[in-house]
Structures are given as structure tokens and as C-alpha cells.
A = this chain, B = another copy of it.
């Protein structure tokens, strides 16, 4: 469960094409933790970002049935049907993933299934791994997810080798993280892997963020009774 050996820093000049998949009821920090790491990275490395959803309506953090009384709305740049080619897909989680048969969620799952073979990397945060699991792309792989929702998520991917105690898990080109704030740590670990440790440290220090650098360092598995 340790990270793979670092690849050499990515040669600059070639933009890495990132996509983030949003649906109503995504968890804001699941998306904006990694995205802000990428925003900072993109000051020194060329990136493109597509913000993808099932349609071009602003995507709210709140579902109709959400217990939250407040919300924020983000503008998508593309739909799943006109998405440009992507190298990396980032999939956040959130309560919206629980609307199992809703159009945004079934469309998200279909998109993950169709785009995955073209990706260099798939990165999920929190219950975003549940969407990847339902798309079938985690079958036979090690993966993790939100620790409070762990039991529930197991049923979404019976053929996934779910890892309870992990801040994040890397299996092949799939990087899955634990709940919400763990997305920042998996993003920084992925930046270290692709662009080198110096880049990851620079982003973390610029954000005054104390990284978890050990993928196995996860006190929340125990907190939620998974050990």
C-alpha cells in the first residue's frame, strides 16, 4: 500500500489534461482540496482543467434531499458528451452519490466507465470511489473510501479489495483516498509521483498544509470501528 516508486518529474511543456467530475451533492472539499493543489501547481506546470457534469447547469453542493441548509454552486465547462480528451479524471464524493439511480449519478458512472480506458490516472476522493466501483473499474483492485461510509460502500463494489486503514491507496493508475480532507493528501502524493517531491512540497508549503505523507497513516479507520 505504499506509493509506487516515483516516476521522473514530468517534462514541462506538455499540459496534463485534468477533468473533474461534478454532480449535485458533491462534497465541496472533496473537489476543492485537490483542485486548489492543482491551481497552485498550474502556476509552474502547464495544466488544462475541464469541469464536467451531466449538463451545463451550475452544480450545487446540495441535493434536494440534503440535510445541509447551505450550498455553493460551481459552473461546469463541459458535459459528459462533449468532454475533451483527458489524461486525469478526479472524482469527488459526497451525499449526492447516494442518489443511486438519479440521472446525474448514472450518467457519472457511465462516463467513468467509458473514459477510464483512455486515462493515465483516475483519482477518487471519499465516496467518489463508490462511483468508480459501480462503474466496474475498481474490480479486483485495492481501493479505499470514506471511513464512516465504509460498510455501505463495500456493497457498491463487492469485487473491490477495499482497504480499511489507509489515507489513500494506489493500485496501478488508480489513486483512491479516504474521506474529504484526505483528497488533499492524495493530490499531493500524486503530484509528488508525477512532478517530483519538490513540486509537492512547494504546493503544500504554499498552502501552509501539513501533509500526511504515509498512505497507511489513518486514525479514522479505528475511530469508525474498522479495525
Contacts and interface: CB of A to CB of B under 8 A. Distances in A.
Interface of A: 15, 18, 27-29, 32-33, 35-36, 38-40, 42-44, 46-49, 51, 58, 61-62, 66-75, 146-148, 178-182, 184, 205-210, 212, 219-220, 223
Contacts of A40: 68
19 contacts: A27-B36, A29-B207, A32-B32, A32-B33, A35-B72, A39-B72, A40-B68, A43-B68, A43-B69, A46-B69, A51-B72, A58-B75, A75-B75, A146-B208, A180-B207, A180-B208, A181-B208, A205-B220, A210-B219
A39 B61 contact: yes
A15 B51 contact: no
A70 B47 contact: yes
A205 to B, nearest CB: 6
Nearest to A212: B210
Q: Please classify the interface of chain A as helix (H, G, I), strand (E, B), loop, or mixed, using the class held by over half of its residues.
A: loop
A44 B220 CA distance: 21
Nearest to A126: B208
Contacts of A207: 29, 179-181
Contacts of A44: 67
A85 to B, nearest CB: 16
Contacts of A220: 205, 208
Contact of A47 (B69, B184, B208, B210): B69
A42 B29 contact: no
A198 B174 CA distance: 36
Given A51-B72, A72-B74, A208 B147 contact: yes
